[in-house]
Structure formats: C-alpha cells, structure tokens
Amino acid sequence: MDTYYKPEDLAKFEEIGKEAPDLARKFFDYYNAVFAEGALTEREKALIALAVAHAVQCPYCIDAFTQGCLEKGSNVAEMTEAVHVVTAIRGGASLVHGVQMRNIVQKISM
Amino acid sequence: MNPGQALQEIGAAERPLDPFRQTLARQALQLERGRTTTLQINVGLLCNQSCRHCHLGAGPDRQENMSTETAEEVIAYAERSGFDIIDITGGAPELNPNIQTLIKQLYSLAPRLMIRSNLSVLNDRERDELTGLLKDRRVVIVASFPSYNEAQSDSQRGKGVFQASIDALRKLNAMGYGQSGTGLELDLVSNPTGAFLPTPQGQMEQRFREVLKKKWGIVFNHLYSFANVPLGRFRQWLLQSGNLESYLQRLASRFNPCAVEGLMCRTLVSVSWDGYLYDCDFNLARDLPLGGTRTHVSHMEGPPEPGSAIAVGDHCYTCTAGAGFT
C-alpha cells in the first residue's frame, strides 16, 4: 500500500454494509434524510457538509461535496467562505483554550 | 448529494460508456419526432468571444456566416412551414450582416421570435439600431449568463466578459427588457463553469433572481439551467484537463428516461449557416444531419414529418441527464 487514501476506494463505501447490513441501511437512510430539502435548502446543507469535511479532513467528503456544492448552485467564493468559517471555529477552539492555560499559570505563579 | 449517488457516479467513471441508442433500447424507449414547432436558425460561428464551453468552437476568427441567399431560403422555409417558435442563434447572431433582415422578415412568421445573445456584443454602439429593432418587434432575448461569480464566469467566457454582461443587462433593463408589464422578455441561460452538472433550474432561478437584484439591480423573466455539451471547444478542454471520461460517465449515470419525451429534438429543426438541416444545434456541431440524411432547406416542403427518425450520438446524454434540456 503506497498511500492510505485512494479515490477509487470511495466506490467501495457500500461494502461497509456487508458485515452489518442493518446498521449500514439505517446509516444511509438517515444520511439521505439529513440531506433532503428541509428547513435548510439542499444548497445550504451541502455548504455545511463541505465545511465540516475540511474540519474532519476527509478527502472523500471533500471530493463529493465540492462537486455537490457546485451542482447545488454554490460558487467558489461561497465555498471558500464556508471553509474559512470552519477554520475560524477550529482555530478559535484552540485559542479559547488559552484561557485554561492562563488560569493554570495564574494559579501556580506568584 | 447522498453517498449512494456519489458512489454511483464516481464508480461509474470506471465503466465503459454505453452507446446512447443502446441505452434507449434497453429502456424500451423510442426517440422519434413529434410535431415540429420550432425552427432554430444558426446564422454562423462568428463571435466576439471564444468561450471555453462552446460546443461549436465559435470565435472572432471563424468564417462560417449565413449568406444573404441562404437567409432568403430560410425565410421562405419559415413562411411555408408555419412554426410556433423561431429561435436565432450562432456564434453571436448579432454579427451576421443579414440579422436585421432576418428579424424584420421572421417576426411576423411565428408567434414567438427569439434571439440568443452573449450580451457583451450588445454593448457596441453599432448594435444600437439592432437592439431598437429587437425591442420594436418584441423579440425575446435569451442571454448567456453562466454564473454570478465574476472569476468563474470570466474563466469560462474571457476576461472582462462578466462586467460587460452586467452592463448589457442593465442596458436591456433600461429599455424595458425583463421588466414586468412591458412585454419585453429577457431570459437567462446558466451553464456550469466546468465539468459538473447544473443546479436544478428552479433553485438556480430563485438564487440568480435574488443575487442579481441585490447586487446589481438587474431583473429578468426566466432562467434556464443547461448542462455543457461535450463537443467542440468544451470537449477539447475536457480532454486536455483529464475530465472527459468522468464527465461523460457523469452525464450517462444521470440518464433520466422521463426526459426523453420532452427532448427538444422531437419538436425542433435546426438549420445551419449553409442551409443544411439538423435535429438540433448539437447534431449540427457533430455534423449529424437531420434524421441521418443531408437535406438542404430549399428542398424541404415543410417541417419534418411526425414519426421520422432523429440522429443520435453519445452527446445526447447531455439532454437526458436529470431534468433534461429545453
């Protein structure tokens, strides 16, 4: 194995159902229901998915939802902003823990 | 987007493409003409732009342009055939020297006369007389406007074309085009700016309406959302960028049997700049003649007969993908 991630592996995703078909069916039914038009549009849901795909760093999801966002009517400027939103949250989540660091420094320092 | 769909499409790229006719046969579908109601006239490949998605490879250096003699033969054909819709396209049809004669002669021959415009060509002051004529004869303008993102639009159509298109849309709005109550219809056509499929038309129209109004104060009547056809300059780009096979498979994997009945080739006949007939503008680009037989407009007594054959190729998957092509 020369790399852990191969684009063709995405086509094997359904094989995950072979050992536990009931659980796989429940997951895919739920997944499809989540992405159907609801209070949020399909376009908005695809943008959220694209952003989260970057946060969880899933190359399969980035591939699928980049195409998905374009085909749901988002443009590259909107998609880039979505990635910045998740980056801000992810970076902010690290930075806000600096408060803990400062609390500990205060507690153990003279 | 759902995982099953994504899997099907990405996995499909590994399989060879089934010929379009075979797909029709497997689904027990017949593709033949209904009543032909639309005459599409391609007046030539001369264009002021060289769009990367153009299925005809139109551009400033193309010499193919409808002559006065052929224009007269096309007008005579329209007169003896009685079409409901006449649709003038190109290239940039505004650049054909016979365009004003065609408009003046054709507008009384069909209830609906349309002209396809790339918009930027209308900014030239030399076009003012023509735009006045279009307004006077209530000609429907169907304008290319692929994206409201400037960078993506210019990448497809050429640097500066996006802003030129905005300027032209404002000019048309000021003339009354796209404004309610004027009877001057302005429709937009959006194509994906790459090797992906279009957004469903209803969603796209709503989004364009909101953004164009908010950002530029532009209004329009309808938006049509079309897939790019893998022919001409777009096919070259697909090939060079390594996207051809996956794009063809993506189109084929979205084959919608319900779209076949509404395909435009069932009700449209296309005439090229040299007067020869085709089942659609894409078959014209492929040089697949009407029903498989090379026929000149001067030899046609009227519209093609209902039930007659339609020439097909693998590019036809474009029109059957998803909701289809109108």
For B235-290, what is each residue's pLDDT tens digit? 999 999 999 999 999 999 999 999 999 999 999 999 999 999 999 999 999 999 99
Using a CB-CB cut-off of 8 Å, the residues of chain A touching B190 are none
Interface of A with B (CB under 8 A): 7-8, 10-11, 13-14, 28, 31-32, 35, 41-43, 46, 49, 63-65, 67-68, 70-73, 75-77
User: Residue A108: is its pLDDT beyond 50?
Assistant: yes
Please indicate whether residue B131 or residue A10 has the higher confidence score (pLDDT): B131
Using a CB-CB cut-off of 8 Å, the residues of chain A touching B6 are 10, 64, 67-68
* B228 inside domain: yes
Counted domains in chain B: 1
* B318 inside domain: no
Two tokens, residue A101: 């660091």
Task: Indicate the pLDDT class of residue B7, thresholds 50, 70 and 90.
Answer: very low
- Structural domain boundaries, residue B53: 36-242+263-305
* B311 inside domain: no
Two tokens, residue B283: 């078959």
Task: Indicate the pLDDT class of residue B15, thresholds 50, 70 and 90.
Answer: low
Please indicate whether residue A82 or residue B12 has the higher confidence score (pLDDT): A82
Nearest to B7 among A11, A49, A67 (CB): A11
Closest CA to B292 of B272, B278, B274: B278
Q: How far apart are CA B15 and CA B26, in angstroms?
A: 17
Q: How deeply is B112 buried, as exposed, middle or buried, from its count of CB atoms within 10 A (0-12, 13-18, 19+)?
A: middle
Residue with tokens 């823990």: A97
* B182 inside domain: yes
Q: How far apart are CA B194 and CA B210, in angstroms?
A: 23
Using a CB-CB cut-off of 8 Å, the residues of chain B touching A52 are none
Q: Are B291 and B264 in contact (CB under 8 A)?
A: no
* B84 inside domain: yes
Cα–Cα distances in Å, from A93 out to A80, B179, B262? 20, 49, 53
| Mean pLDDT on B76-89 | 98
Q: List, for residues B280-297, the tens digit of each pLDDT value.
A: 999 999 999 998 899 999
Using a CB-CB cut-off of 8 Å, the residues of chain B touching A49 are 1
Residue with tokens 């849309």: B169
DSSP string, B2-32: -HHHHHHHHHHTTSPPPPHHHHHHHTT---B
Q: Mean pLDDT across chain A, nearest whole number? A: 93
* B47 inside domain: yes
| Mean pLDDT on B43-71 | 97
User: Residue B14: is its pLDDT beyond 70?
Assistant: no
Q: Give the pLDDT of residue B2.
A: 46
User: Residue B143: is its pLDDT beyond 70?
Assistant: yes
Contact (CB<8Å) B203/A65: no
pLDDT > 90 fraction of chain B, expressed in percent and rounded: 90
B14 touching chain A per CB within 8 A: yes
Task: Indicate the pLDDT class of residue A10, thresholds 50, 70 and 90.
Answer: confident
Residue with tokens 């004869």: B137
- Could you tell me how many CB contacts below 8 A there are between chain A and chain B? 68
Contact (CB<8Å) B3/A31: yes
Task: Write down the architecture of domain A39-108 according to CATH.
Answer: Up-down Bundle (1.20)
Q: Which strands sit side by side in the sheet containing B38-42, from one edge to the other? A: B222-225, B186-190, B140-144, B112-117, B85-89, B38-42, B268-271, B277-278
| Mean pLDDT on B92-102 | 98
Q: Are B48 and B95 in contact (CB under 8 A)?
A: yes
Contact (CB<8Å) A7/B147: no
Contact (CB<8Å) A76/B151: yes
Per-domain boundaries in chain A = 39-108
| Minimal C-alpha gap between B216 and chain A (Å) | 17
Task: Indicate the pLDDT class of residue B45, thresholds 50, 70 and 90.
Answer: very high
Cα–Cα distances in Å, from A6 out to A9, A58, A64, B307? 5, 12, 14, 49
Q: List, for residues A30-58, the tens digit of each pLDDT value.
A: 999 999 999 999 999 999 999 999 999 99
Q: List, for residues A76-96, the tens digit of each pLDDT value.
A: 999 999 999 999 999 999 999
The residue of chain A with its CA nearest to that of B6 is A64
Q: How far apart are CA A27 and CA A13, in angstroms?
A: 12
Q: Give the pLDDT of residue B5.
A: 55
Using a CB-CB cut-off of 8 Å, the residues of chain A touching B4 are 14, 28, 32
Domain containing B100 — which CATH number? Answer: 3.20.20.70
ipTM value: 0.71
Q: Mean pLDDT across chain B, nearest whole number? A: 93
Using a CB-CB cut-off of 8 Å, the residues of chain A touching B152 are 75-76
Q: Give the pLDDT of residue B8.
A: 41
Q: Give the pLDDT of residue A40.
A: 95
Using a CB-CB cut-off of 8 Å, the residues of chain A touching B196 are 67, 70-71
B10 touching chain A per CB within 8 A: yes
Strand pairing report for B277-278 and B38-42: unpaired
* B118 inside domain: yes
Contact (CB<8Å) A43/B14: no
| Minimal C-alpha gap between A93 and chain B (Å) | 29
Task: Indicate the pLDDT class of residue B16, thresholds 50, 70 and 90.
Answer: low
User: Residue A110: is its pLDDT beyond 70?
Assistant: yes
Using a CB-CB cut-off of 8 Å, the residues of chain A touching B322 are none
- B307 conformational bin, left if phi > 0, alpha if psi -120 to 50, beta if neither: left
Q: Are B165 and B153 in contact (CB under 8 A)?
A: yes
The residue of chain A with its CA nearest to that of B322 is A71
Contact (CB<8Å) A75/B6: no
Q: Give the pLDDT of residue B153.
A: 95
SS3 content of chain B, % helix, strand, coil (to 5): 45, 15, 40
The alpha carbon of B170 is separated from its chain's Cα centroid by a whole number of angstroms, namely 22
Q: Give the pLDDT of residue B322.
A: 79
* B19 inside domain: no
Q: Give the pLDDT of residue A11.
A: 81
